[in-house]
Chain A
Amino acid sequence: MDFELSDDQRAVLEAVDALLARHAGPARAIELAAKSAYDAALDTALDEAGFDGIALAEETGALEAALVTERVAGAAGTVAFAATALVAPLVAGRALPGPVALVRAAADGPIRFAASARTLLVLDGERARIAPLSAADVTPVHSNFGYPFGRISAAARARGETLGPASGERLLAWWRVALAVEALGAMDAALRLTVRYLTQREQFGRPIGSFQAVQHRLAECAVQIEGVRWLVYEAAAQGARTEAAACVAGLALAAAGHVHRETHQLSGAIGYTTEHELHVFSLRLLALRLECGGAGEPLRALARERWGAPA
C-alpha cells in the first residue's frame, strides 16, 4: 500500500498541467461552448505530447491515464480524452484513431463528442464493437451542458469490428471508471472555484465563506470528493474490476449531483452567469450523470454484482 504519487507520476502531472495551462481552462471552454465546438488544438497538443498513449506505455498504465484524465477534466478540457486515452486502449488493447466516442448500441440520445469523433466504441450487451465514424453518421445537438453533443445513426451503432467475449463488461467497467474520474476533476474544480469566490465575496461585513453554515456544506463536499478520489485511483490501479468500477461510478455520480447543487446554492446568482466559471464544471457534472444509462445504473449494477440483486 502506498497512497502517494511516485516521482514519475508527479512528473507526468507537472507536464500535463503545464500543457493544460497553455491550451485549456474554463475561459476557453466557455468560448468553445458558444460555438458547440470541439477543442481540436488541445486534442492535438495532448496527443503530440504523448498523453494519448499513456495507458499502454511501458512505464505507465491505467492509473496514470486516470490521473491525467482527472487533470484534463479539472482544466475544463473540451476533448474526448477519457474515451480516447483511458477507455479505448484498455478495452481494445491498442490505440484507436481519436477522438473516440462511447455509445450504447440501443442509445439514440445525445452522445458526447460525437460530431468530432473518428472512432465509435459501441457497448452491445456482452460485446464491444469498434466502428469508424464520419460526420455523415452524426446529427449535432444544441445543448448548454458544457460539451458538444450529437446523435449517432443506428447504422453506425450497428456496424464495426466486434471484440472478444468479455469486451462488453470491460468497456462498461472502464467507462464507469472514466466517468468517475472526469466527475472527480470537475467536482474538485467546482469546489475550488466556489471556495475562492466565497473567500472574496463579502456580505454582512465579512466573507460569506466565514459563516459556519456555509463552511460545513463546503466541507461535506470535500469529504465526498476525497472519497471519490481515492476510490477511483484504487479502481483504476486494480484494472477496473466490475464491482469496484460500478461502486466508484455510483459514488462519483451521486457526489456530482450533490456538488452541483451545493456549489450553485452557495455561489448565489453570479453562479448562473456565463461570465462566472462555475457553470462550466457544474453543468458538465450533470451531463456526466446522464451518460451511460444514468446515475442510478451503476448503483443497481453494484447491487446485482455484490448481492445478486435481480435485474
Chain B
Amino acid sequence: MEFEWAPEDAAYRAELRAFLAAELPPDWAKLSKDGPGSDAQLEFSRRFCARLAERGWLTQHWPAAYGGRDASAWRHAVLGEEMWAHGEPRGSQYMNVNWIGPAIMKYGSEAQKALHLPRISSGAVLWCQGFSEPNAGSDLAALRTRADRDGEVYVVNGQKIWTSYCNKADYCFLLVRSDPESRRNKGISVLLMPMDLEGVEVREIPSVVGERYFHEVFLRDVRVPVSARLGPEHEGWDVVSYALAYERVGAARYAKAALVLDALAEAAKASGRLADAALQERLAEARALCEAARVLAYRVIDGRAKGRPPTVDTNLARVAGTTADKRVGELALEVFGSEALVYESFAAANFRLSMTAGVAVGATEVQLNLIAARWLQLPKSGA
C-alpha cells in the first residue's frame, strides 16, 4: 500500500490550480449558480474545454492513438478532483471524456472513431445521454423506445426523460430497443444520434434544481443511419454496462462537497455559530464523510490504474459520495439559516446542486442492492 501522490501527479495538481486561477473568471461562482444546464455556464464550459484541450489535458488519459497522452488513471483523477473542487467548469463534457469516448474506443467502427474522438478531445462537441424513459428509470432494461430497421436506417420512435444538457447537445448516446420482439436487456442497441435530425424534439421540464436541468426528448420517426449504431446490433446492453461502469465514478463530487463544507465552516466562524459544539460535530462528521468518499473513490481509481474491470467497489464509492454530498447540502441550510431561502445565496445554490445526489446516475437503492448481492453475498432478494 502507498498513500502518497507520485511527485509528477502532485506537480500536475499545482500546475492545474495555477491554470484554473488564471482561466476561471472572477464571477464564476455567480455564473454557476443556475447550474450546469444554464446558457451562461454551457457557453463558458465550451470555451473552457477548448482551453483544456489546447493543453492536451481534456482527454489526457486516452491512448495517444486516439488523441490522448496515455496519462495514468491517477493523473486523470487529479484533473477530476480539481475540476469538481472548482464547480466542474467542464460542464457536461466530463461525460464525453470519461465514458462516451472510451465506449467509442472499445466498440466503435473506424469511421465512428474518426468522426467522434477528435471532436471530443478538442472540446468541440456536447453530448447528452438518452437512457431513462417514463417507464424505465432505475429499471433501465424496461426501456421501450423503438428502433425499427428500414434498410440502412433505423426509424426511432419513443421518449426519453430527465435528460440533462440536451438543449445544446450535438449528439445523444441513445439506448433503443432494436428488436421489437425482445424483452429486458436483450435486443437493445446504442445509437450515436445527431440531435439535429428531423423528429427530435426537446422540451425542458421545469424543476427546482436549476435552469434547464431536466428535459424530455421526443423521438418521432427519427431516421438514424445504421452506421451510427455503436457496437453489435441488439447487444447494446454490454456497451452500456461498460459505459456505466466508467460513469459511476467519473465525478469527484466529494471534492466539491469538501470545498463547500470549508466555506460553510468559514461562514459559521464569521457569524460566531462555530462556537456551538453540536454544530462543530455535525460539520466535522460531514468532513469525515467527504474523506471516506475520497478514499473509496481512490480505491476504484487504483483498480482502473491496474487495468482491472470495475467491481462492486464502484458502488461503495458511489453511495459514500452521495451520502457526503447530501449531508453537506443540508448543512448549508443549517449554517445560513433563513438566509439560505434566498435563491441567489451560496447556501441555496449549493443545496440545489446536492438535491439530486442519490437519484441522478442511478438511485442509491440500486447501488445498495448491488452491494448486498456482490459484497455481502446476501441471498437473492425477492421483495
Residues of A within 8 A of B (CB): 1-6, 9, 63, 191, 195, 198-199, 206-207, 209-212, 215-216, 218-220, 222-224, 226-228, 230-231, 233-234, 237-238, 246-248, 250-251, 254, 296, 298-300, 302-304, 306-310
Are the C-beta atoms of B281 and A300 separated by less than 8 Å?
yes
| Interfacial chain B residues near A303, Cβ < 8 Å | 265, 274, 280-281, 283-284
- A227, B320: Cβ atoms under 8 Å? yes
Q: Which residue of B lies closest to A2 (CB)?
A: B2
Specify which chain B residues have a CB less than 8 angstroms from the CB of A199 in the assembled complex: 377-379
Sample of 17 A–B contacts (CB below 8 Å): A1-B2, A3-B302, A206-B379, A212-B372, A216-B372, A218-B376, A219-B375, A223-B319, A223-B320, A230-B298, A238-B3, A254-B285, A303-B280, A303-B283, A307-B274, A309-B274, A310-B275
- Check A1 against B302 for contact (C-beta < 8 Å): yes
| Residues A296 and B295 in contact in the complex (CB < 8 Å), given A1-B74, A195-B376, A218-B372 | no
Closest residue to B295 on the A side, CB-wise? Answer: A230
Contacts of A9 in B (CB 8 A): 1
Determine the chain B residues whose CB is within 8 A of the CB of A4 once the complex forms. Answer: 1, 302
Q: Is B266 an interface residue (CB 8 A)?
A: yes
B281 touches A296 (CB 8 A): yes
A229 to chain B minimum Cβ distance, whole angstroms, is 8
State the CA gap A88–B147 with chains docked (Å).
68
Q: Mark B335-377, 1 if CB is under 8 A from A, else 0.
A: 0000000000000000000000000000001011101100111
Q: Select which of B265, B275, B298, B378 is within 8 A of A1 by beta carbon.
A: B298
A226 and B374 alpha carbons, distance in the complex (Å) = 14
Interface string of B265-284 (1 = CB under 8 A from A): 11011000011010011011
Q: Which residues on B sit within 8 Å (CB–CB) of A215?
A: 368-369, 372, 376, 378, 381
Residues of A within 8 A of B1 (CB): 2-6, 9, 63, 233, 237
List the B side residues contacting A233 at CB < 8 Å: 1, 3
Contact B287 A209 (CB under 8 A): no
> Contacts of A309 on B, CB cut-off 8 Å?
265, 269, 274-275, 280
Of the candidates A2, A195, A247, A310, which one forms a contact with B288 in the assembled complex, judged by CB atoms under 8 Å apart?
A247
CA–CA, A211 to B281, complex, Å? 34
Q: Which of A212, A222, A296 contacts B316 (CB 8 A)?
A: A222
Q: Which residue of the partner chain, among A191, A212, A299, contacts B284 with CB atoms under 8 Å?
A: A299
> Hey, which chain B residues are within 8 Å of A222, CB to CB?
316, 371, 375-376
Is B293 among interface residues, defined by CB-CB distance under 8 A?
Answer: yes
Q: Is B21 an interface residue (CB 8 A)?
A: no
| Contacting pair A206 B274 (CB below 8 A) | no
- Given A191-B376, A199-B378, 6 extra CB contacts under 8 A: A1-B4, A3-B302, A223-B319, A223-B320, A299-B280, A308-B269
Partner of B368, one of A216, A231, A251: A216
Residues of A near B281 (CB, < 8 A) are: 250, 296, 299-300, 303
Given contacts A1-B302, A222-B375, A299-B280, contact A230 B296 (CB under 8 A): yes
> Do B298 and A250 touch (CB < 8 A)?
no
A-chain residues with CB within 8 Å of residue B371 when the two chains form the complex: 219, 222-223
A144 to B383, CA, bound (A): 38
CA–CA, A252 and B30, complex, Å: 37
Q: Is B220 an interface residue when CB atoms closer than 8 A count as contact?
A: no
A231 near B378: Cβ-Cβ < 8 Å? no
Q: CA–CA, A124 to B316, complex, Å? A: 40
Whether A218 lies near B316 (C-beta < 8 A) is: no
B265 lies within 8 A of A307 (CB):
yes
B70 to chain A, nearest CB (A): 18
Known: A6-B1, A215-B372, A299-B285. A307 touches B262 (CB 8 A): yes
Taking A223-B320, A226-B316, A237-B3 as contacts, is the C-beta distance between A310 and B284 under 8 angstroms? no
B375:A306 contact, CB within 8 angstroms: no
- The chain A residue with its CB closest to the CB of B9 is A1
Indicate the member of B288, B291, B382 with the most A CB atoms within 10 Å.
B288
Taken together as a complex, chains A and B put the C-alpha atoms of A140 and B292 apart, in Å, by: 38
B323: Cβ under 8 A from any A Cβ: yes
> Across the interface, do A218 and B275 meet the contact criterion of CB distance under 8 Å?
no
Asked if A210 and B379 make an inter-chain contact with CB atoms under 8 angstroms apart, the answer reads yes
A101 to B299, CA, bound (A): 34
User: CB-CB < 8 A to B299: which residues of A?
Assistant: 3, 230
Residues of A within 8 A of B3 (CB): 1, 233-234, 237-238
Q: Which 3 A-B pairs have the closest CB atoms?
A: A227-B292, A215-B372, A303-B280
Alpha-carbon distance between A306 and B269 when the two chains are bound, in angstroms: 12
User: Inside 8 A of B285's CB, which chain A residues have their CB?
Assistant: 250-251, 254, 299
Q: Smallest distance from the beta carbon of B38 to chain A beta carbons, Å? A: 31
Bound form: Cα–Cα A237–B285 in Å: 22
Find out whether the CB atom of A3 lies under 8 angstroms from the CB atom of B284: no
B381→A306 contact, CB < 8 A: no
For the complex, what is the distance from the CA of A211 to the CA of B368, rounded to whole Å? 12
A299 to B295, CA, bound (A): 19
Query: What residues of A have a CB within 8 angstroms of the CB of B74 in the complex?
Result: 1
* Given A206-B382, A308-B269, residue A251 in contact with residue B292 (CB < 8 A): yes
Is A219 touching B2 in the complex (CB atoms < 8 A)? Answer: no
Cβ of A266 to closest chain B Cβ, rounded Å: 11
Q: B19 contacts which chain A residues (CB < 8 A)?
A: none
Chain B residues, Cβ within 8 Å of A306:
262, 265, 284, 287
